[in-house]
Homo-oligomer: A and B are copies of this chain.
Amino acid sequence: MTIIAVPFRLRNFTLEVGHRANTKFGTTLITGHPGADESLDDAARSIISQWIGCDAQYVEQLYTLSTARQDKREVAISYIALFRQDGCTGPADDRMHWSRVVDLHIHDHIHHMVFDYASLRLKAKLGYTNIAYHLLPELFTLSELQQTYEHVLGHRVDKRNFRRRMTASRTLDKTAAMRRDGSYRPAALYRFATQDDHAAYLTPSWASASFSQRHDETGADAP
C-alpha cells in the first residue's frame, strides 16, 4: 500500500508542484507507506510533511487505485496538499524539488493519472470553495488573486468580470491596508472573509485530512 501525494504551492503567485527527480521511473510525485497503526489520512499528512519540511495547509484524499507494475499489484491512495507561500522555508529532503506546473513532465503512467486528477480537483474547487485561501498569503491584492486563479485554471480570465465576481461573492474582505508596487498607484489588500465553508468542500466530515492544525490554531471554525 502506497500513498502518492501531489503538493502544490504558489511562488510569486506562480503555481508550483512538488516532486522527485531522477528516480528509476524519472520524475515522480512524492510517495510513502502508511504505518500499520495509523489512519491513512494521518499517514498522508505525515509523509507529506516529511518530504516538504512543514505541515500542509490543506490535504484532501483524491482516489484509490489498484495498480499493476511489472506484474506486481499494489494499492495506491492519492492525496492533494496545498502549501502557503509564507509557511514553509524549503524542502526537508534534498531529493525533493519544486517546479512550475507547466514545466513538469511525468512519464510514469500512474503518477501522471494522479497528477492530472489532482489538477482537475483543484481547478474545480476553485469555482465553488475558498480553496485558494490555502495557497495565498494572508493579505493579497485582487491582481495577485487573479494571477493565482489563472495559474490554477491554466488560462487567462477577464479582469473586470473576475473583480466583479470575487467582490460580489462575499468570500473576500477588503482591508484598510494598501500596497504600492513600483510606479503603479497603491492597490487595496484583501483577505478571505471566512474559512468555515467546510461543507462546500464535499469532503467527509469525519476525514482527518482536510484542514491542518495550523489552520485550526488560527481560530477558524473548521471541524
Point out residues on A near B: beta carbons under 8 Å: 1, 34, 36-41, 43, 61, 63-66, 73, 75, 77, 113, 116-117, 120-121, 124, 128, 202, 204-207
Contact = CB atoms under 8 A, between A and B. Distances in A.
Contacts of A207: 63
Contacts of A117: 204-206
Contacts of A34: 66
A202 B121 contact: yes
Given A41-B65, A75-B75, 13 more contacts: A1-B75, A38-B66, A39-B65, A39-B66, A40-B65, A40-B66, A61-B63, A63-B204, A63-B207, A113-B204, A116-B205, A120-B202, A120-B204
Contacts of A36: 73
**10 nearest interchain CB pairs?**
A64-B64, A117-B204, A40-B66, A113-B206, A39-B66, A64-B77, A124-B202, A63-B204, A36-B73, A40-B64
Nearest to A114: B204
A223 to B, nearest CB: 14
How many copies, total?
2
29 contacts: A1-B75, A34-B66, A36-B73, A37-B73, A38-B66, A39-B65, A40-B65, A40-B66, A40-B75, A41-B65, A43-B66, A61-B63, A61-B64, A63-B204, A63-B207, A64-B64, A64-B77, A75-B75, A113-B204, A113-B206, A116-B204, A116-B205, A117-B204, A117-B206, A120-B202, A120-B204, A120-B205, A121-B202, A124-B202
